[in-house]
């Protein structure tokens, strides 16, 4: 049994090409209606923009799921250890209990789709420079392609470590048809180079249509620098670079005054939302609410109620007393009217209200809420952490954290906080503010620290028992290379422990 999710793939040699039809937000998710071929495609500015529009569509794979609640954004969160999941999914259960293997289909889904996006970005970057078109538009669409290639490589290198680095279009005669793995440090160098190219491409500082902006480029680059300053590369000089990239973003975006705006339709691509994947009923819908509401409880007009990602009680209890985010229908909720008779359904657990779309729950049951990849609080916390690691607490760094805390109705951190205490405060804020946004697992990778929510402290990731009585295995710092890839390409080697 599968969800009725729309997945579009169009053959283009060995590469997957997806095409949209124009340049507005709707067209980032429009169905393909063209019959262009490779020989005639790259001849105009409109075609260049249309082709780059198609690259965005690869982002949808993060939210694709099946009837057992298996989806990349779910899998990423389960690796962090603070979620329970629907018992019907053997793969999800194996991830939670750290007994999964390289044939888990989620590993193949992420690998293959990221390389699909990279393949299309490579085609764009190779062909658009030769088009006779408006010079400003040419720079901008190339900037979008560079950003998206970096975005997909950033996920690959963090999840799989050394991965094949391919920056040119691949054909049946290309040496990269069966590539070898490239050192992670070199992959990160390419990511940084691509983001620097995107930053110099004349993109707007902000963008409310769903396209890449300079704010998105800087935020992603700041994240890359923060990651490379930690494990495994430990390039500590990059802390200062992370702070440098994050700082200009802080004045370009604004925090919402209501958490509701994080998941409604009226505020898509606005306020603190820096980069999102775009959805629209009638064109592309998703299963985010169904995956994150309790199992088999008739909450909203959805056809499925899967409970694939439910916060543990211990994680919910780790928030400070009085934190607004824990109050009913802020970040979490524990009851809701039945879709059948309007009676109040009490869940018996805390589900994620931050992913509940009121509009679709009350009407068709077809969700088109955007998925957020980058938002302002993350960039604020990157700035604070990077500044602290580079030279200790500063008034401005403390102020960024306190803005997030003030919105949550929490007392400010003291002005004389020590570097070590500030580090822990930032890490906790990342877990609580960015909860279940696919940040926690990557934080474990780069810090080698695990948030022990029961004792409200951090400990070594591979020796700290989590709230589900599981201890993180060192092999889980990386995902395995998908078994299908190993079987197809004999040049690929497997990660340690897999």
> How does pLDDT run across 183-213, given as a tens digit for each residue?
999 999 999 999 999 999 999 999 999 999 9
CA–CA separation, 393 vs 138, rounded Å? Answer: 42
pLDDT of residue 69: 85
> pLDDT (tens digit, 9 = 90+) per residue, 289-305?
999 999 999 999 998 89
pLDDT of residue 41: 83
Angle of CA points 250, 26, 438, to nearest 5°: 45
Contact between residue 243 and residue 231 where contact means Cβ atoms under 8 Å apart: no
pLDDT of residue 303: 87
Blockwise average pLDDT, block size 10, the chain, 498 residues: 30 32 49 52 94 97 83 96 88 95 95 98 98 97 98 98 97 90 98 98 97 98 99 98 98 98 98 98 94 93 92 98 98 95 95 97 95 98 99 98 98 98 98 98 98 97 96 97 96 97
Q: In the chain, where does the domain assigned CATH 1.25.40.390 lie?
A: 1-176
Which one is the CATH code of 1-176: 1.25.40.390, 3.50.50.60, 1.10.1380.10, 3.90.1200.10? Answer: 1.25.40.390
pLDDT of residue 30: 52
- Answer yes or no: CATH 1.25.40.900 is held by domain 374-461: yes
Contact between residue 438 and residue 428 where contact means Cβ atoms under 8 Å apart: no
Q: In the chain, where does the domain assigned CATH 1.25.40.900 lie?
A: 374-461
The number of CA neighbours under 13 Å toward the Cβ of 283 is 19
- Global model pTM greater than 0.75: yes
């Amino acid at each position: 049994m599968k969800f009725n999710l729309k997945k579009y793939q169009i053959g283009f040699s060995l590469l997957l090409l997806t095409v949209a039809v124009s340049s507005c937000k709707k067209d980032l998710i429009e169905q393909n209606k063209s019959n262009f071929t490779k020989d005639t495609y790259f001849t105009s500015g409109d075609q260049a923009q249309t082709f780059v529009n198609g690259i965005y569509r690869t982002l949808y794979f993060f939210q694709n799921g099946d009837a057992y609640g298996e989806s990349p954004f779910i899998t990423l969160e389960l690796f962090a250890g603070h979620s329970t999941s629907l018992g019907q999914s053997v793969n999800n259960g194996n991830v939670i209990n750290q007994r999964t293997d390289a044939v888990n289909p989620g590993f193949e889904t992420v690998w293959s789709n990221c390389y699909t996006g990279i393949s299309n970005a490579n085609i764009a970057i190779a062909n658009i420079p030769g088009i006779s078109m408006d010079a400003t538009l040419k720079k901008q669409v190339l900037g979008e392609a560079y950003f998206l290639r970096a975005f997909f490589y950033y996920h690959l290198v963090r999840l799989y470590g050394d991965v094949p680095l391919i920056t040119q279009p691949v054909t049946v005669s290309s040496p990269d048809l069966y590539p070898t793995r490239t050192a992670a440090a070199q992959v990160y160098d390419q990511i940084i180079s691509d983001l620097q190219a995107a930053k110099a491409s004349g993109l707007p500082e902000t963008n409310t249509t769903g396209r890449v902006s300079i704010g998105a480029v800087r935020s992603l680059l700041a994240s890359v620098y923060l990651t490379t300053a930690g494990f495994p590369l430990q390039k500590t000089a990059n802390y200062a670079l992370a702070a440098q990239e994050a700082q200009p973003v802080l004045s370009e975006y604004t925090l919402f005054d209501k958490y509701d705006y994080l998941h409604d339709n009226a505020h898509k691509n606005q306020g603190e939302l820096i980069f999102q994947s775009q959805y629209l009923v009638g064109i592309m819908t998703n299963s985010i609410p169904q995956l994150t509401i309790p199992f088999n409880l008739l909450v909203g007009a959805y056809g499925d109620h899967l409970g694939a990602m439910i916060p543990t009680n211990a994680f919910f209890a780790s928030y400070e007393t009085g934190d607004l985010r824990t109050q009913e229908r802020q970040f979490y909720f524990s009851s809701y009217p039945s879709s059948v008779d309007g009676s109040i359904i009490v869940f018996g657990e805390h589900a994620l209200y931050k992913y509940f779309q009121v509009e679709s729950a009350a009407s068709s049951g077809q969700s088109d809420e955007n998925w957020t990849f980058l938002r302002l609080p993350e960039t604020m916390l990157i700035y604070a952490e990077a500044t602290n690691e580079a030279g200790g607490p500063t008034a401005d760094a403390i102020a960024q954290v306190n803005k997030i805390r003030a919105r949550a109705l929490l007392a400010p951190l003291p002005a004389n906080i020590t570097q070590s205490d500030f580090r822990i405060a930032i890490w906790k804020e990342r877990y609580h503010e960015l909860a279940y946004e696919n940040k926690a697992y990557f934080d474990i990778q780069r810090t080698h620290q695990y948030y022990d929510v029961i004792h409200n402290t951090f400990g070594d990731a591979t020796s700290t028992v989590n709230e589900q009585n599981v201890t993180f295995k060192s092999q889980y710092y990386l995902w395995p290379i998908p078994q299908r890839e190993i079987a197809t390409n004999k040049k690929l080697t497997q990660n340690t422990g897999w």
